[in-house]
Structure 1
Amino acid sequence: MSLPVTVTFMLTDWVAKGLADGTFERVGGVIRDVKTKQIVSWLREQGANNFSGSLQVTEGILQVTSAVSILNLGVSVIGFAVIAQRLKELEQRLQQAQKLLNNINNKIDLSFYANFRAAIELATNAFTMTKPENRRSSALQAINRFLEAEHIYTEYTDIEIEQKSQIADEYLLTLSLAYLAEARCYLELEEHDTALRRFQEGSIIIRSRIQKYVKLLLTFNPAVYLQPQFRGQIDLRRLTRIYQWLDPTLDENAVFDMQRMNLFMLAQDPNKWVESIPAAIWDSKVDWVGKAIWDDPKPQIYARLPKTLAVVESMIETNCRFEAYQTEVQAISQLRISFHDWLKLTPSTEIKPDGAELMYIILSKPLELYPCI
């Protein structure tokens, strides 16, 4: 069947031109028109990068280097094996955090990660079965477990954000994986409409909590990220991109105006900001163990801020990729192509250039995809 898409390893000239002049932008795993929000191209990782989760690519004007994400650039390249690996990484990070939190008798419940892993194994086995009825039955069992994981990690996330803790982001990422695993089951079953609905419902839950977490890490005085000591690391443009994710109507001038008084207040009384920072950035019970009470914590706290801002960018990037998955599912449905045939899309005659890390799926004409990112 002939499809109205071009699949290529090279960024086409007209897309590159649009990225260069600002007509197009990359959001998650798609390139879209800035004004109309119409999708121009989907991005798909190639080779070993399918498993890396931290793609670092510069191909012409396209740069995918702003933030490391736990999710890949397309739902088509994040299968159950990748989800299992990401889950393992999160569990290991929580185990490391547990060693620190033991100092203040704060216990992390890791028990449900075993159930989540078992659900992924069940889903993996389901889609290797030859009999359709067995495949569907096992897949539905896995889906029920993923639904349970979604409820549990939504609750965990809400508790940790409320407590402004240092592990809220790990639970948020785990929650994203739970929704992704469930939707992937529906895609494997070719239940496109249900997969899309679950992505949409998950996006509402995940985005609202990432917004709370981002605002938490920006603190009550975000001007702290613009201190002179961060020259060369953090600039106004970088902070503006974060604010534009929260409110697309803002530009650099608007963000600077928001920080004018904050800069003055910070210079006038820096201790006020230090005393108010959330535990997600600095928890004196954990991070000040063994230090003398008269020591000044500000140098250690300020040293963490570049890393904290990178966490903010990573969470936003993860959210954008999750929301961009919806456009893939919409396209699959409207093009009347099976998910498994979509997975097989590859340039028919083009030889993959050495070092090419992305494949581009470009529409010959826009589809009427309702905006979701």
Structure 2
Amino acid sequence: MKNINVQFDMPDWVQQGLANNQYERFGGVIRENASGKIVVYLRETNSFINQSLSNLSNIGSIASILNLGVSVIGFALILNKLNDLDNRLLVIENSLKDIQSKLGDINYKIDLTFKSELIGALKQLIKAISLSDNCLKQRLIINIVYIFEKTTAIFKDITEKNSQSAIFSYETFCSAYQAYFLFYLSSTSLSICYLEVNELMTAEKILKECIYSSKEIYQEMLLLDYDIDEEDQEEAEEKAIEEFLDSIRDSEWESSIIFPTSLAEYISGGFRLKEDSENIEKRCQEQYTHTKQMLKDFKNLLLNLKSFSEEIQYIQKADISWSEWKSLKPTNNFSESEYIYVIPCAASLK
């Protein structure tokens, strides 16, 4: 480990680089802007994860919680501390029943027995992560890999079909987002399975496939064109997000209109609203805010995937095992720092 420096405190040179825009943080890594080279890997500390989870105890979105996992290890630690996976995934399962009926026209049926299988596999993975007996760990993981492979394929397919919708309502976008999150959860968990048996190349391949699919889904939903110049992409994305949010607001207003059924009804009253306009506007604003947060979560999850993939790439370059990488820690054991800063020496990045 001579090529890796591990410490609780952010080095002064990194702080200065962030302040003068020489460096920039992207999820779980800090990069040099000019070259794109990673100069620091971030890893959440146990104390930070515990505090964050206690602060988020009232939030219903499991995605909001797993967004805390900026490193693969952080993701695994957070997953290990989610004791109410049954309740959190039940909320998602209920909404997916709507998807089943919507996709029935194209002869696609969702097997809703995923809930017990996925939860069971996640619990077995959590157990495997904590085992020191490698033989027992491998037996457990072999038994659950196929479940994550199946749920990854199912929810990728569902999300891709939903992302091709011509017009999104708030409800259809919520369903698409929840299906995407289960695709993300299944893919990341599958990758961790392979990491735990030290199959780093396979783990990285799974994440790269998930990143590629996630980008395509995001672009499809927002009708983004990434063939434009790089400097115009950010502006185009911001415009597309605003248009997407406006379309969802418009869809809610349109669903609240009672259209006249005859000429006489049109002349006498025209269009009418199902309820008070103030109530509709309030609901539209709540949906607008929630949709904006889901889009932000989507981008954060994609950012995490990229961080996970780069982390695994570095482990391979450094020629160390996954268990050695997990065991890296500063020599001083006490700290209230939110992160451990893993600083590779220049030679180990080549």
TM over 0.5: yes
Aligned with 2:312 (options 329, 343, 360): 329
Give the secondary-structure state (helix, strand or coil) at the position aligned to 2:115: helix
- The 5 Å alignment of 1:244-255 reads 248-250=230-232
Cα distance change, pair 36–93 in 1 and its aligned pair in 2 (3 A)? farther
| Equivalent position SS for 1:32 | strand
2:247 pairs with 1:277: yes
Structure 2 residue aligned with 1:112:
114
Q: Deviation string for 1:71-119 (max 9, x for gaps)?
A: 30100122277068385465143267579x69x9999964312111122
Candidates 174, 178, 182, aligned match of 1:174? 182
Range that drifts further, 113-122 or 149-158: 113-122
Query: Structure 2 CA distance, aligned partners of 1:54 and 1:131?
Result: 29
Matched, 1:94 2:92: yes
Tell me if 1:293 matches 2:274. Answer: yes
Partner residue in 1 for 2:266: none
Cα offsets for 1:19-49 (capped at 9, x unmatched) = 1111111111111112211111111111243
Q: Secondary structure at the match of 1:349?
A: coil
Answer yes or no: is the 8 Å Cα contact 1:153–1:171 preserved in 2: yes
The 8 Å contact of residues 44 and 360 in structure 1, kept in 2 or not, is answered as yes
Amino acid at match of 2:304: R
Which among 117, 121, 124 is matched to residue 122 of structure 1? 124
2:267 match:
none
Percent same amino acid among aligned pairs? Answer: 20
Task: Give the distance between the partners of 1:283 and 1:161, measured in 2 at CA.
Answer: 22
Task: Call closer, same or farther: CA 1:256–1:326 in 2, change over 3 Å.
Answer: closer
Superposition deviation, residue 139 in structure 1 = 1.7
Query: Contact conserved, 1:119 with 1:146, CA < 8 A, in 2?
Result: yes
Partners of 2:215 and 2:26 lie apart in 1 by: 15
Residue 189 of structure 1: CA displacement?
A: 0.4
1:244-266 superposed Cα distances (whole Å, 9 cap, x missing partner): 9x9742388x569969xxx9xx9
Question: What is the match of residue 70 of structure 1?
Answer: 66
State whether structure 2 residue 20 is matched by structure 1 residue 21. yes
Distance 1:18 1:160, change over 3 A: same
- Is 1:193 the counterpart of 2:201? The answer is yes
The 8 Å contact of residues 128 and 141 in structure 2, kept in 1 or not, is answered as: yes
247 and 25 in structure 1: CA distance in 2 versus 1, 3 angstrom threshold: farther
Whole-Å Cα distance in 2 between the matches of residues 73 and 326 of structure 1? 11
Change (3 A) 1:50 1:210: farther
Match of 1:212 in 2: 220
Equivalent in the alignment of 1:82? 79
Contact map agreement 1:46 1:359 (CA 8 A) in 2:
yes
By how many angstroms is 1:203 displaced? 1.2
Aligned-partner SS, 1:249: helix
Cα shift readout 1:124-172 (whole Å, capped 9, x = no counterpart): 455637362x543432231111100111111221233344312211111
| Residues 293-312 of structure 1 mapped to structure 2, 5 A cutoff | 293=274, 295-296=276-277, 297-298=280-281, 300-312=283-295
1:359 aligns with 2:329: no
Distance 1:52 1:176, change over 3 A: farther
Query: Which residue of the partner structure matches residue 140 of structure 1?
Result: 142
Unaligned runs of 5+ in 1: 57-66, 219-242, 267-272
Structure 1: how far apart are the matches of 2:180 and 2:237? 30
Contact preservation (8 Å) 1:84, 1:120: no
Alpha-carbon spacing, 1:201–1:341, altered in 2? closer, same or farther (3 Å) = same
The match for 1:159 is 161
**SS of residue in 1 equivalent to 2:24:** strand
SS at match of 1:179: helix
- Could you tell me whether the CA contact under 8 Å between 1:196 and 1:326 is conserved in 2? yes
Superposed displacement of residue 197, structure 1: 1.3
Paired position in structure 1 for 2:11 = 12
Q: Gaps (5+ residues) in structure 2?
A: 56-62, 105-109, 259-271
